[in-house]
């Protein structure tokens, strides 16, 4: 059948207008470029002189950088361009059956022959185009080839040029990708791969119970070593170190990345005790000292090590930078040193006065950040609310826990300023979740009695709620049991006013004070939070079991809901559910998380 150019052009244009815009880019570039050159050549030569127009089209398709195959409606091969001939390894006297039989395409985990694929996707449907991005081809069972594939059904040109199959061989691209993601000397995943993997890791931090530890390792004095030993020998050192790290990666459960020339990053993702990481670092230092011996020279190597730990060193966004900051700090202390970005609090004595002086600036510099910890429904184990917990991400000391600075803030009254900031932040966060259609949940804010006793707490809350247009039922204020109970009549009145406004009140750390239930009746609390110290030995201490059971029962009699804090394992979950406790909070479900990590739980 003679080829009608105008029809072919219209036909392709029609298919293209129905395409996904992204696909359009690929296909339209190819086909329109081809057609453009084809038409141009036709304009230059009269048709008769151009020989058969099909021959010409074939010539144009031959110069395409994609492999093209044209099939008739009965799957006879009408045309193959030279790239396709090469790709398929077709012998001169091929038969159409051989091609359609020998080419298999992976579709949703199944291998289909080309004919079967066209049958199922284009013959039995109205579709005019079928595309597969990043699929696999198998030709004559000779291994697989990564490729993009498009098949166009040509409806206006009769049966001969019926299916145009284009293939884009991605082997070169994938090879480049492998090179791009691996270090050329050690073939280990490099910094590009690290960044990709870390993004994935951070997306699921809420599923990880333990800590995340980053260890940045750099051989000291490497440039000097290189100038001394030469490129080849110094590269051998790098390879030897790489092999050593890989050999230890299973025991210590870390991934190894070769970031830059003499720099490695080790990532541990679910660490119960960061001491394990430090044990490894010690082992590494010992190993380095003995590990390079040239004929008669012994090289004593050292490496500087920077460690950052999530969540102790701050949130995941800064984890990599913090590991490098720690590395640079270690290097500044001399060779073979280890520095941990956020030393555990025990090793760190915060100076009260310095902290007090610094907290004013910290508020201005946005160094305070709210973390959110989910509260789960004890029956359905769904996230039903969250507690906002403040963190101070100090530029030098890293993450400072609230116990280190809240008491200073209370003592100095600065908590009143910070309390306003916290309420504002929570309301802003609620608004964002509302706008972006996250599940709307109540958020608890811890308030100190200093804030309530200040006198205008209620007025402020009322004003802020009105300004932000947040329903008061989405805010809970938590006050510590003992302190709340000591409060004067006037303060009790503040709580009653807040309660009337519609915000909820929770009695925190219940069980640490000595409040009688008869007094609690006068206090307008909706929620009672049993202190986490009760959970520590609940599975073995019958006395604690009886107390908790009794508290839950009494609270329910007073129409209060009960939260238990500090739930760290499934046995406690089951026990508390059996006691009829309403909500559960604890590391078993999630640690407190930065808002952008927490909100993944609300999707
Ligand atoms: P809290 O109100 O009793 O907060 C619960 C504490 O228990 C949090 O410590 C939380 O991280 C921790 N926690 C949660 N689940 C578990 C668990 O399963 N096991 C264990 N061992 N601990 C768990 P965090 O965040 O260090 O807060 C300590 C205290 O600092 C809070 O105790 C609260 O009294 C105070 N605080 C925190 N944020 C604020 C705030 O924004 N304002 C005020 N005024 N006080 C705050
Ligand atoms: Ca609390
Ligand atoms: Ca508590």
**Confidence at residue 3, expressed as pLDDT on a 0 to 100 scale:** 45
For residue 366, CA distances in Å to 236, 360, 394, 502 come to 47, 10, 10, 30
Cβ distance 572 to 352 under 8 Å? Answer: no
Ligand 1 contact via 587 beta carbon (within 6 Å): yes
**Confidence at residue 63, expressed as pLDDT on a 0 to 100 scale:** 84
- Provide mean pLDDT across the span 290-302: 73
**Confidence at residue 365, expressed as pLDDT on a 0 to 100 scale:** 93
Cβ distance 580 to 544 under 8 Å? Answer: no
- Provide mean pLDDT across the span 166-184: 91
Ligand 1 contact via 408 beta carbon (within 6 Å): no
pLDDT in tens, 37-83: 554 444 444 333 334 667 777 778 888 889 999 898 888 888 888 88
First to last CA, the chain: 57
Helix (H) or strand (E) holding 485: helix 481-485
Beta strands in 49-158 (DSSP E): 67-71, 77-80, 103-107, 110-113, 129-139, 144-153
pLDDT in tens, 222-273: 998 888 888 998 899 999 999 999 999 999 999 999 999 999 999 999 899 9
Distance CA 552, CA 559 (A): 10
* CATH dotted code for 181-345: 3.30.70.270
Ligand 1 contact via 531 beta carbon (within 6 Å): no
Burial of 293 (C-beta count, 10 Å sphere; 0-12/13-18/19+) = exposed
Region of residue 437 (phi > 0: left; psi between -120 and 50: alpha; otherwise: beta): left
- The preferred substitution site among 512, 565, 589 for testing ligand 1, maximizing ligand atoms within 8 Å of CB, is 565
- The preferred substitution site among 367, 402, 571 for testing ligand 1, maximizing ligand atoms within 8 Å of CB, is 402
The protein residue with its alpha carbon nearest to ligand 1, atom 15, reads 586
**Confidence at residue 289, expressed as pLDDT on a 0 to 100 scale:** 81
Ligand 1 contact via 592 beta carbon (within 6 Å): yes
Ligand 1 contact via 476 beta carbon (within 6 Å): no
Write out the two tokens for 37. Answer: 């050159």
Mean pLDDT, rounded, of the chain: 86
Ligand 1 contact via 358 beta carbon (within 6 Å): no
The protein residue with its alpha carbon nearest to ligand 1, atom 45, reads 446
Count of other CB atoms within 10 angstroms of residue 157: 15
Q: Is the peptide bond before 78 cis (omega within 30 degrees of 0)?
A: no
What band does 27 get if pLDDT is binned at 50, 70 and 90?
A: low
Pairing of the two strands 368-377 and 263-271: unpaired
**C-alpha 457 – ligand 1 centre gap (Å):** 22
**Confidence at residue 392, expressed as pLDDT on a 0 to 100 scale:** 92
At which residue do the structure tokens 């707490």 appear? Answer: 457
- Segments of the chain assigned to CATH 3.20.20.450: 352-602
C-alpha atoms less than 13 angstroms from C-alpha of 76 in its C-beta half-sphere: 6
Ligand 1 contact via 19 beta carbon (within 6 Å): no
What fold is seen in the domain 352-602? TIM Barrel (3.20.20)
- Segments of the chain assigned to CATH 3.30.70.270: 181-345
- Provide mean pLDDT across the span 545-562: 95
The ligand whose atoms approach the alpha carbon of 375 most closely is 1
Sign of torsion, CA 557 562 568 574?
A: positive
Q: pTM of the predicted model, to two decimals?
A: 0.57
**Confidence at residue 481, expressed as pLDDT on a 0 to 100 scale:** 84
**Confidence at residue 101, expressed as pLDDT on a 0 to 100 scale:** 75
Region of residue 92 (phi > 0: left; psi between -120 and 50: alpha; otherwise: beta): alpha
**Confidence at residue 583, expressed as pLDDT on a 0 to 100 scale:** 98
Pairing of the two strands 163-169 and 144-153: antiparallel
At which residue do the structure tokens 């008769």 appear? Answer: 48
- Segments of the chain assigned to CATH 3.30.450.20: 5-172
**C-alpha 534 – ligand 3 centre gap (Å):** 11
| DSSP class of 68 | E
**Confidence at residue 127, expressed as pLDDT on a 0 to 100 scale:** 85
- Provide mean pLDDT across the span 99-123: 87
Give the gyration radius of the chain's Cα atoms: 34
**Confidence at residue 361, expressed as pLDDT on a 0 to 100 scale:** 93
The protein residue with its alpha carbon nearest to ligand 1, atom 41, reads 390
Distance CA 54, CA 542 (A): 90
Cβ distance 591 to 386 under 8 Å? Answer: no
Residue 10 pLDDT more than 70?
no
Ligand 1 contact via 508 beta carbon (within 6 Å): yes
The CATH number of domain 5-172, selected from 1.10.3720.10, 2.60.120.1360, 3.30.450.20, 3.40.30.10: 3.30.450.20
Distance CA 31, CA 16 (A): 10
SS3 12: helix
Cβ distance 564 to 535 under 8 Å? Answer: yes
**Confidence at residue 208, expressed as pLDDT on a 0 to 100 scale:** 83
Write out the two tokens for 63. Answer: 């110069």
State phi, psi for 254 to the nearest 5 degrees.
-130, 160
Ligand 1 contact via 559 beta carbon (within 6 Å): no
Least confident interval from 281-295, 385-399, 565-579: 281-295
Counts for the chain of helices (H) and strands (E), in that order: 23, 24
DSSP codes of every residue in 367-418? -EEEEEEEEEETTT--EEEEEEEEEEEETTTEEEPHHHHHHHHHHHTTHHHH
Ligand 1 contact via 586 beta carbon (within 6 Å): yes
The protein residue with its alpha carbon nearest to ligand 1, atom 20, reads 566
DSSP codes of every residue in 434-498? HHTTPPP--EEEE--HHHHHTS-HHHHHHHHHHHHT--GGGEEEEEEHHHHHT--HHHHHHHHHH
**Confidence at residue 485, expressed as pLDDT on a 0 to 100 scale:** 76
pLDDT in tens, 297-345: 667 789 999 999 988 777 777 789 889 989 998 998 888 899 988 644 4
Distance CA 468, CA 203 (A): 30
Ligand 1 contact via 590 beta carbon (within 6 Å): no
């Amino acid at each position: 059948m003679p080829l009608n150019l105008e029809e072919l052009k219209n036909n392709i244009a029609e298919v293209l207008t129905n395409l996904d815009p992204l696909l359009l880019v690929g296909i339209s570039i190819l086909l329109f470029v081809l057609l453009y050159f084809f038409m141009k050549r036709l304009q230059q030569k009269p048709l008769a002189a151009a020989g058969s127009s099909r021959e010409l089209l074939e010539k144009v398709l031959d110069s395409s950088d994609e492999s093209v195959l044209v099939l008739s409606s009965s799957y006879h091969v009408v045309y193959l361009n030279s790239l396709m001939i090469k790709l398929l390894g077709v012998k001169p006297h091929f038969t159409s059956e051989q091609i359609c039989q020998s080419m298999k395409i992976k579709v949703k985990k199944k291998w289909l022959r080309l004919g079967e694929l066209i049958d199922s996707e284009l013959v039995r449907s109205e579709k005019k185009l079928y595309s597969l991005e990043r699929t696999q081809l198998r030709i004559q069972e000779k291994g697989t080839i990564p490729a993009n594939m498009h098949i166009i059904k040509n409806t206006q040109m009769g049966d001969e040029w019926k299916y145009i199959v284009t293939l884009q061989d991605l082997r070169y691209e994938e090879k480049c990708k492998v090179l791009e993601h691996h270090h050329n000397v050690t073939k280990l995943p490099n910094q590009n791969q690290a960044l990709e993997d870390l993004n994935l890791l951070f997306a699921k931090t809420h599923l990880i119970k333990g800590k995340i530890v980053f260890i940045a390792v750099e051989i000291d004095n490497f440039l000097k070593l290189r100038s001394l030993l030469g490129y080849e020998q110094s590269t051998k050192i790098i390879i030897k170190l790489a092999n050593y790290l890989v050999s230890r990666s299973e025991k210590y459960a870390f991934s190894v990345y070769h970031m830059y020339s003499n720099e490695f990053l080790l990532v541990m993702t679910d660490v119960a005790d960061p001491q394990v990481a430090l044990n490894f670092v010690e082992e590494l230092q010992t190993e380095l000292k003995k590990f390079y011996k040239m004929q008669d020279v012994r090289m004593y190597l050292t490496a500087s090590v920077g460690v950052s730990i999530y969540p102790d060193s701050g949130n995941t966004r800064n984890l990599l930078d913090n590991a490098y900051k720690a590395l640079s700090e270690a290097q500044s202390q001399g060779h073979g040193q280890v520095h941990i970005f956020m030393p555990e609090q025990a090793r760190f004595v915060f100076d009260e006065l310095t902290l007090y002086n610094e907290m004013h600036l910290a508020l201005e510099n946005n160094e305070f950040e709210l973390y959110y910890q989910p509260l789960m429904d004890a029956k359905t184990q769904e996230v039903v609310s969250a507690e906002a917990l403040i963190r101070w991400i100090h530029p030098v000391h890293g993450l400072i826990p609230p116990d280190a600075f809240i008491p200073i803030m209370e003592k100095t009254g600065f908590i009143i300023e910070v309390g306003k900031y916290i309420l504002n932040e929570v309301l802003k966060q609620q608004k964002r979740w509302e706008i972006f259609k996250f599940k709307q949940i109540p958020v608890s804010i811890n308030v100190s009695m200093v804030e309530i006793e200040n006198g205008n707490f209620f007025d402020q809350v009322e004003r802020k709620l009105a300004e932000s247009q947040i329903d008061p039922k989405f805010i809970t204020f938590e006050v510590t049991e003992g302190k709340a109970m000591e409060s004067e009549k006037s303060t009790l009145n503040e709580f009653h006013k807040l309660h009337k406004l519609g915000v909820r009140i929770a009695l925190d750390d219940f069980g640490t004070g000595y409040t009688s239930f008869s007094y609690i009746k006068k206090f307008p609390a909706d929620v009672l939070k049993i202190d986490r110290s009760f959970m520590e030995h609940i599975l073995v201490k019958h006395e604690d079991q009886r107390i908790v059971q009794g508290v839950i029962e009494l609270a329910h009699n007073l129409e209060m809901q009960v939260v238990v804090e500090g739930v760290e394992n499934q046995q406690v979950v089951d026990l508390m559910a059996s006691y009829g406790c309403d909500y559960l909070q604890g590391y078993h479900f999630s640690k407190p998380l930065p808002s952008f990590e927490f909100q993944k739980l609300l999707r």
